[in-house]
Amino acid sequence: MDFDFDLFVIGGGSGGVRAARIAASEGGAKVALAEEHRMGGTCVIRGCVPKKLMVFASGFSRMVLDAKGYGWDIRQHGFDWSAFHPHLDRELDRLEAAYRRNAEAAGVQIIDSRAVLNDAHTVRLSDGKTVTAKHILIATGGRPFVPDFPGSDLVMTSNEIFQMEALPQSILIVGGGYIACEFACILNGLGVEVTQFYRGAQILKGFDDEVRGHLSELICESGVEMHLGCDVIEMQRQDEGIWVKATNGKNRHYDAVLYATGRKPNTAGLGLENVGVKLGHRGEIVVDEWSQTSVPSIYAVGDVTDRINLTPVAIREGHAFADTVFGGKPTKPDHHLVPGAVFTQPEYGYVGLSEEEARKDHRIEVYATAFRPMKNAFIGREDRVLFKLIVDADDRRVLGCHIVAEGAGELIQLAAVAVKMGATKEDFDRTVAVHPTMAEELVTMRKPVRSA
């Protein structure tokens, strides 16, 4: 059978674009890619990139205060969203254009349209036209989830927050995951009065418990009003703003409400069920270790598979798919010991197991220290950093590394190399410290604080 394309990719985010580029440029495939919104996907347009730029912007309020402690006479006149936001939009336009340009330069035909499956080899575009392909790759990412309750139509999500015309004076953030905590810190740093609700007992479920408690205290001390074990009952639009009725009885008005209560795979309406693609209980596309679905001609990568929902992972999965199917180099994406960072203030960088995970299958020793770094101590700041290593008591491998500190995202990238290589605690101990730095604690902790 003759097909219009060797590969048709649905979704123009990081994973889909990488797969399309490699299949076309290195695999010699005839490739088309359909994107119904903007090229770049969640990370570039409404996720990692604009969020990190807002993290940078929000950090200057603290820098100004710290500068005064170091003798600088700096006047702070507040944050001007109207000056920052157009610059942000221009940067996203630049990145989107780069994604499009690089894909087209590799030989990928970009189709600005929604695409859904007709059968195992056919997609239907928004204009009704059908296109055939030998292989189809689904890379449609995820979408924010907002529960249904009275007034739920009044909230915004992480998709819309970057399009605000003006900063609110007050905001309620509902959720306790990394997105909620990041935006609580960002908006607090930009001068917004932030309240955070989370129905659980502690924020950042799924991360190391000691880190969760440490970060929760720091976020509260920074000025965020956090209410744990609390949820929204209903909301109403009133003259004073959005009135929120809470389960803890502390009802009040907010200028805006942001829901960051999780994300779901973006599979609705793609026609997957009709062609026999198996879905999981959260709507994720079920794939094997080669990213192949239950239909042999259809593959999926990235957040739509709900494996590890990180941009670099989606890129690795897309590249591995292209190498396997079009490059003659069978490659499985490596999901073991993937590092990550939560861009709260301070940041949290991690790689490997949490203490709780490690306890399940290993005898462990925990090396940890929390202290005021020199920079903070000099000006009387009480904020403490946290460094933590989880070590296998039998073979001495470092099973997990956790850092809560300024620049932790940068630090963990380097530590992750050692952990990925299988470094032992003694390898860390043999490494000479760089002094005076915070990170020297990684190689100077000699006695475990506890064992299990």
Cα separation, 362 vs 235, whole angstroms: 47
Contacts of 336 (CB under 8 A, 6+ apart): none
What length is written for the chain? Answer: 452
Kind and range of the H or E run holding 130 = strand 130-138
- Residue 431 tokens, joined: 């490494």
Residues marked active site are found at 435
Our CA angle for 200, 180, 85, nearest 5°, is: 165
Give CA–CA dist 347/181, Å, rounded: 11
Sheet holding 232-238, edge to edge: 232-238, 241-246, 252-254
Alpha-helical runs (H) found in 173-289: 178-189, 209-221
The span from the CA of 313 to the CA of 388, in Å, is 24
Q: What is the torsional sign of CA 200, 202, 207, 208?
A: negative
For residue 94, what are the contacts with CB-CB under 8 A and spacing of at least 6?
none
Question: Helical H runs in 190-286?
Answer: 209-221
